[in-house]
Amino acid sequence: MADEDKSTKARAMGNPVVHFEIPVTDMDRAMAFYEAVLGYRLNRQQVDGYDMAFFPRADGAAGASGALARGDVYRPSKEGVIVYFDVPDIDAVLQKARARGARILYAKKDIGAAGFVAEIEDSEGNRIALSQVRD
């Protein structure tokens, strides 16, 4: 097998998304929202002149991680790409989101064997999704 074929096959077998960035206008507010609703501790840094707050990352684990990002090229929106966060208890996360002023954009839905999904509007006006695997 040619080296190019091996490389293409290897890429096709892994998860194609390795990083995401969620646009924010107020980093303090956004960090408080995500930390309270999802329970993660974010790591705030300056990267190439942009204010960023990174979600935890587990090297070698399945899935992707990302960051909240503030700067001239980042504009929050409910349109476009939707990031799904894996949560252990979707009802508890929805309750925390409502307590932080989030609007429910897509109510909890049973999607069969895959579990449950819902969508909320975060503190910055982005549409984000929640996913709970069925036990």
In terms of Cβ atoms closer than 10 Å to its own Cβ (0-12, 13-18, 19+), residue 81 is: exposed
pTM beyond 0.85: yes
The tens digit of pLDDT for each residue in 53-69 reads 999 999 888 889 999 99
Q: Would you state the structure tokens that stand for residue 95, as one six-digit string?
A: 């309750």
Percentages helix, strand, coil for the chain (3-state, rounded to 5) are: 25, 35, 40
If you ran DSSP here, which 8-state letter would residue 8 be given?
H
Q: What is the pLDDT of residues 87-119, one digit of tens each?
A: 999 999 999 999 999 999 999 999 999 999 999
Per residue in 77-94, pLDDT (tens digit) is 999 999 999 999 999 999
Cα–Cα distance for residue pair 108/27, rounded to 1 Å? 27
